[in-house]
Amino acid sequence: MAKADTLKQEANKTCADLCNLLATENMKSAKHRPDFLLLIVILLLVSIGLLTIYSASIIWAAQFKKLSADYYFIRQFMWTILGLTAMFGVMNVPFWRWRQLLPLQLPFSILLLLVVFAFPGGEDGSYHRWILLGPVSFQPSELATLTVILYMAHIMTKKQDRLDSFKKSVVPPLVITGLFAGLVIAEPDMDAAALIVVTAMAVMFGAGIPIRHFVKLAVPVIGLAALFIFSSEYRRERIFGYLHLDPFSIESIRGEGWQQANSLYAIASGGWTGRGLGRSIQKFLYLPEPHTDFIFSIFAEEWGTIGAIVLIVLFAILIWRSIRIASLLPDRFGSLVAVGITAMIGFAVIANIGMVIGALPVMGIPLPFISYGGSALLIKLLAMGILLNLSRYTAEEQAR
Amino acid sequence: MRAINRTLRKRLVIVLFALGAVFMALIGRLAYIQLIQSAWLTEKAEDLWRRNIPVESKRGTITDRNGEVLAYNGSAPTVIAIPAQIKDKPSTAEKLAKVLHVEAKDLLAKISKRTLLVYVTPGGRKIDEQKAKEIRGLKLPGIYITEEGKRYYPFDSLSAHILGFSGIDNQGLTGLEEWYDERLRGKSGSISFFANARHEEMPNQNDSYTPPQNGQNLKLTIDKEISTFVRREIENVVAQYNPDGVMAVVADPKTGEILAMENYPTFNPAQYKEYPQEVYNRNLAIWKTFEPGSTFKIVTLAAALEEKKINLNDYFFDPGYYEVAGRRIRCWKAGGHGSESFLEVVENSCNPGFMLMGQRLGKEKLFDYINKFGFGQKSGIDMPGEGKGIMFKLNRVGPLELATTSFGQGVSVTPIQQVMAMSAVANGGLLMEPHVAKEWSDPETGEVIETVEPKVKNRAISEETAKKVRETLESVVARGTGKNAFREGYRIAGKTGTAQVAAPGGGYKQGHYIVSFIGMAPADDPKLVAYIAVDHPKAGLVFGGVIAAPVVGNILADSLHYLNVPARKNGIPREYQYGDIRPVEVPQLSGLSVEEAQKTIIQISSNLRVEKVGQGKHIVAQAPAAGTKVPPGSTVRVYLSDQPVP
């Protein structure tokens, strides 16, 4: 009896693999032009990012860091060149190669997450978020996010006939995700870890894991998150600051609320049409590190609320195009990768902008393509390369 | 597979809609910030960015009624620094120190402070124009020159209590400087600019300059000349009697304008810090309350005349005391004044006579007049620190209290209340509100903004009664206790006062008197009311008629002469007693030849000296004029010419 079951499963598996293989073979012939609109939007976002980083960082670089005014811009520019090269390269790499590469990428990514502990950072050396190689710094948590997306897409494809089984299709991928997230939390970078977990969940959701499993997961995940939040004082403050809904109270403005209050000043004083490029006042050291997490407020100050809405719309188009790709891909793995990438970008955009406009608590999640950060941009452009490649295999006729 | 893909697609649609909703929420929140919160957020943001360098307004000048400046602002350049804008602090300090002649290290400490704005001290406040020009020439970043005002009081302690003074930050602290601080001060302006979080000025942002609004100029009712006469008299009194305090007021009875108000001890407003605070904080003439003594009898007299309770020609016998409620209250003169008319009662300041008047009036009537004359309430003068005085409560007034009140004991009043009561008698019965501010003018155009009009509070007595009281008081000076105030031709009317000072524990302080005199002139149409009170004079004979009366006489005579009030001839002649020095009438010399004049002088055997001016045999003019009464030994100047007067 048990043997018969095993045989049956074996047969199913072979069949599923075969089916996938067949589909893949089909697609190879159906390769077409990548999503042109998506490409334009990506290029626009990257350009806006570069321009805004230049404008936002010159004062911080020159007056606070005593560096040359274009210090941050030049670095970001190099990373952008590297990132775009990588994107155009990856765009032509058939996406299933990534699945084959996974057995290498998975341990490599974990290795980097371990190596990072050799590089103390932050003011007191208690942070380990970057691997520093001379002038270049690399954030392994970014690569980890992409690795988790690819891994989740792979495992969900592999176990697509056993999705109902909590033990077999939910627990093992969660263990791997938990390993990554745990390492990132240890850096410590709670916010990046949360993004990894949420992105992984999104892939599982897309893969069709029954809702009841998510309900089962909700309790331990939320419990763990609460535990982590309340175990650290500054996270507690952020949450309470948010719940009080008043970033302008004296206690708040001296602490965590300072950035949020100044960010709101920037957005409000920019008006509908903005002060104009380079004319932000808040970047004159009122808003600390204006080119990083809070860059959206400087953008809003210079380009106005209308400019800010245009930027949000650009992100919305990007997300719409990637969801479209996910839904039109006949290949399950590719489809789930697209879902994961969409989630990674989408959640980051919502978390970041929500924080900047005071709708969400302060979090350390940068705005994709816009915030300063070389390795983050490189990984995101790499992901875009994969997405663009995926867009070449969509079954357009089926959509009609 | 298709089924699974269908799940995926269904879920993707959910995701798409969820994300779409969240993005719409983000946009909504942005729009909310811009539509609803933008106004106050922008205001807060601009407050955060804006830095203001204050530009002090110029304090208004204070002049006397003739435009003589009593207080003005000199303004001087002052160096200020915005430390954050100074790039090279040591060299800046070095350069500034060279110009200001101070130690560079002191300046360095100052300009290294982590505040927005510092005064460059030592040496940098209120500097001269030359240094300011040199510093401007250095073009040091973060170093600015602004103007700061300094208050000057050119007549030192003259009218010090009226003027008061203002502190280092241009704020009025006492006197009129405090009372009218807001109008005198004006509004500070500012240079404002946007700065970054380190206070450094931001490029390409508009600086704005709000000019200061200078304070208005104030013209007082005070006459500097009359105040000078008063000051001189006070100094003489102080030199002669070494009193604890002196307070004097001269007022125009018709308008309630104060022409002079001087006190001793006084202070110099420019150096107020060198004086004890009770000296500059107490304007005795409006603050001090004490028993007025006999000067208060004017009220009783006026009330009795108005109510027709006495006739000045009626006779009264003073046995030297008056019996009230079984107690004998004695007259100041042992043995009493005997039989006297009511006119003589007033002339002699006879207490029993006034007690009789009080009794005839009854407490309701008497206290009604006391109220009408403004006692027991603030006069309403436009100066800080006015006292109110103490009156008996009507329901607690028995015969004894009524008796003492009617001659000025057991009540407590301020000098200004007495001056205003006397003014009512002088101006025909109207109680005026005293004031010292006469006119406000614009500091830039000189245009008059506001003129303070005389304010009548109420009618105290009828014109007729007022006239009677004046005549009675003139006779007090000519023939009674106020003789020392008599000045030929000025028809001074007045009343003496000698009051004991109440001891804190009840009863009176032994040997401590406040002597006073209140007078007005000319009696037929009083132009001035003058009052002086001397607190605790150290003299053998402590009476208002001896110490205070001559002072008021001098003040009134000098002031009326200064105001060109013509001398009167129809006054009540002075009654002379043994020992009084009789004045000499100047004979007619003009028009005579020198020889004739010499004869005349010898004939009247008077003690006059003659001084010749010019050459010749004929006298063409003389000073003073014939008929003028002068003290014996005075000099008459005669002007000579070769030709007789045609």
| Chain B residue numbers touching A358 (CB-CB < 8 A) | 29, 33
Q: Does A355 touch chain B (CB under 8 A)?
A: no
Check residue B458 and give its pLDDT: 94
CB B531 within 8 A of CB B249: yes
- Residues comprising chain B, all counted: 646
Question: CA A54, A59, A64, A66: dihedral to nearest 10 degrees?
Answer: 70
pLDDT tier at A26, thresholds 50, 70, 90: low
Residue from B82, B96, B88 nearest B124 by CA: B96
**Residue B87 contacts A, CB cutoff 8 Å:** no
Residues 6+ positions from A284 with CB-CB distance below 8 Å: A59, A63, B195, B196, B197, B202
How far lies B350's CA from each of B326, B353, B476, B496, B497, in Å?
A: 20, 6, 12, 12, 12
Cβ of residue A44 closer than 8 Å to a chain B Cβ: no
For residue A398, the model assigns a pLDDT of 47
The answer to whether the beta carbons of residues A229 and A363 sit under 8 Å apart is: no
Model confidence at A5, in pLDDT bands (50, 70, 90)? low
Same domain, B187 and B296: no
- Considering only alpha carbons, which residue of chain B is nearest residue A288? B197
pTM (2 decimals)?
0.62
Distance CA A77, CA A31 (A): 32
Measured between beta carbons, the chain B residues lying within 8 angstroms of A207 are 8
- Asked if B303 and B329 sit in the same domain, the reply is yes
Q: What is the rounded average pLDDT for all residues in chain B?
A: 86
Strand partners, A137: A132
Q: Are residues B9 and B78 in the same domain?
A: no
User: Which string of DSSP letters, residue by residue, matches B533-555?
Assistant: EEES---SS--HHHHTHHHHHHH
Whether B294 sits among the annotated catalytic residues: the reply is yes
As a whole number, mean pLDDT of residues B175-183 equals: 92
Distance from CA of A374 to the nearest CA of B (A): 26
Asked if residue B128 and residue B249 are part of one domain, the reply reads: no
Instruction: Pick B48's closest partner by Cβ from A286, A308, A358.
Output: A286
**Token pair recorded at residue B183:** 């109008």
What does the pLDDT look like over B431-454, one tens digit per residue? 999 999 999 999 888 899 999 999
pLDDT, tens digit, 9 for 90 and up, residues B388-405: 988 888 888 888 889 989
- What's the confidence (pLDDT) of residue B574? 80
Cβ distance of B196 and A309 shorter than 8 Å: no
pLDDT at residue A249 tops 70: no
pLDDT tens, position by position, A254-308: 566 778 888 888 999 888 998 888 888 888 888 888 888 999 999 999 999 999 9
Q: Which of these three, B218, B239, B270, is where a domain ends? A: B218
Q: How many domains does chain B have?
A: 4
DSSP strand pairing (B448-451 vs B437-441) = antiparallel
Chain A interface includes B6 (CB < 8 A):
no
Establish if B503 touches chain A: CB-CB under 8 angstroms: no
The residue written with tokens 């270049």 in the block is A136
Beta bridge mates, B187: B213
Nearest to B12 among A63, A206, A309 (CB): A206
Q: What are the structural domain ranges in chain A?
A: 34-399
Q: What is the DSSP string of A42-110?
A: HHHHHHHHHHHHHHHHHHIIIIIS-S-TTHHHHHHHHHHHHHHHHHHHHHTS-THHHHHHHHHHHHHHH
The answer as to whether B523 is a domain residue is yes
Segment B305-327, tens digit of pLDDT: 999 999 888 888 888 888 888 88
Reported as a single tens digit per residue, the pLDDT across A67-97 is 888 999 999 999 999 999 999 999 999 999 9
Q: Is residue B174 part of a domain?
A: no
The shortest C-alpha distance from A332 to chain B (Å) reads 8
User: Chain A partners of B15 at a C-beta cutoff of 8 Å?
Assistant: 202, 205-206, 323, 339, 342
The C-alpha of A172 sits at a distance from chain B's nearest C-alpha, in angstroms, of 21
Regarding whether B512 and B470 lie in a shared domain, the answer is yes
Question: Domain end: B506, B527, B562, which one?
Answer: B562
Is residue A371 within 8 A of residue A294, CB to CB? The reply is no
- Exposure letters B505-533 (e unless 16+ CB within 10 A, then b): eeeeeeeebbbbbbbbbbbeebbbbbbbb
- What share of chain B has pLDDT > 90, as a percent? 40
Q: Tell me the Cα Rg of chain A.
A: 22
The whole-number pLDDT of residue B580 equals: 64
DSSP type of residue B634: -
Helix A332-356 with B2-32: angle, nearest 10 deg: 10
Owning domain of residue B142: 52-158+183-218
> Do B392 and B265 lie in a common domain?
yes
Distance from CA of A216 to the nearest CA of B (A): 19
- b (16+ CB within 10 A) / e for B55-64: bbbbbbbbbb
A58, A265, A325, A345: best to mutate for the B interface, most B CBs within 10 A: A265
Supply the pLDDT for residue B204: 63
Task: Tell me whether residues A316 and B23 touch, CB distance under 8 A.
Answer: yes
Instruction: Indicate if B503 and B609 belong to the same structural domain.
Output: no
Q: Which residues of chain B have a CB within 8 Å of the CB of A267?
A: 30, 33-34, 41
B7 found inside a domain: yes
The one catalytic residue among B159, B294, B379, B516: B294
The pLDDT score that the predictor gives to residue B9 is 83
User: What would the pLDDT profile of B506-523 be if each residue is shown by its tens digit?
Assistant: 778 888 889 999 999 899
Q: pLDDT tens digits, residue range B453-492?
A: 999 999 999 999 999 999 999 989 988 888 888 888 889 9
B524 and B597, same domain (yes or no): no
Closest Cα in chain B, distance from residue A107 (Å): 29
> How many angstroms away from the CA of B455 is the closest CA of chain A?
53
Whether B194 maps to a domain, the answer reads: yes
B400 and B429, same domain (yes or no): yes
Distance CA A268, CA A277 (A): 16
The pLDDT tens digits of the residues spanning B106-141 come to 888 878 877 777 787 777 777 878 888 888 888 888
Q: What is the ipTM of this complex?
A: 0.87
Any domain includes B646: no
B11 in contact with A at a CB cutoff of 8 Å?
yes
Average pLDDT over every residue of B591-619: 79
Highest mean pLDDT: which range of A185-189, B172-176, B594-598 = B172-176
Check CB contact of A268 with chain B, cutoff 8 Å: yes
Look at chain A and count its residues. 400
**Are B622 and B498 members of one domain?**
no
Is B317 touching A (CB cutoff 8 A)? Answer: no
* Residue of A286, A317, A331, A398 to mutate for B, most B C-beta atoms under 10 A: A286
The verdict on B24 touching A (C-beta cutoff 8 Å) is: no
For the cut 70, the answer to whether the pLDDT of residue B257 exceeds it is yes
Q: Are residues B18 and B137 in the same domain?
A: no
How many interface pairs between A and B have CB atoms less than 8 angstroms apart? 127
In this structure, are B212 and B228 located in the same domain? no
Of residues B588 and A19, more confidence is placed in B588
* Test the A interface: residue of B40, B43, B193, B196 with most A CBs within 10 Å: B196
Q: Measured between beta carbons, which residues in chain B are less than 8 angstroms from residue A355? A: none
How far is A150 from A335, CA to CA, in rounded Å? 11
Using the predicted structure, report yes or no on whether residue A380 has a pLDDT greater than 90. yes
Of B75, B79, B77, which Cα lies nearest the Cα of B59? B75
Q: What is the CATH number of the domain that holds B212?
A: 3.90.1310.10
Q: What is the pLDDT of residue A19?
A: 54
Averaged pLDDT for residues A218-238: 80
Tell me if B8 and A206 make a contact (CB, 8 A cut-off): yes
Whether B206 and chain A come into contact, CB under 8 Å, resolves to no
pLDDT category at A1 given cuts 50, 70, 90 is very low
Q: Which of A376-385, B14-23, B106-115, B275-284 has the highest mean pLDDT?
A: A376-385
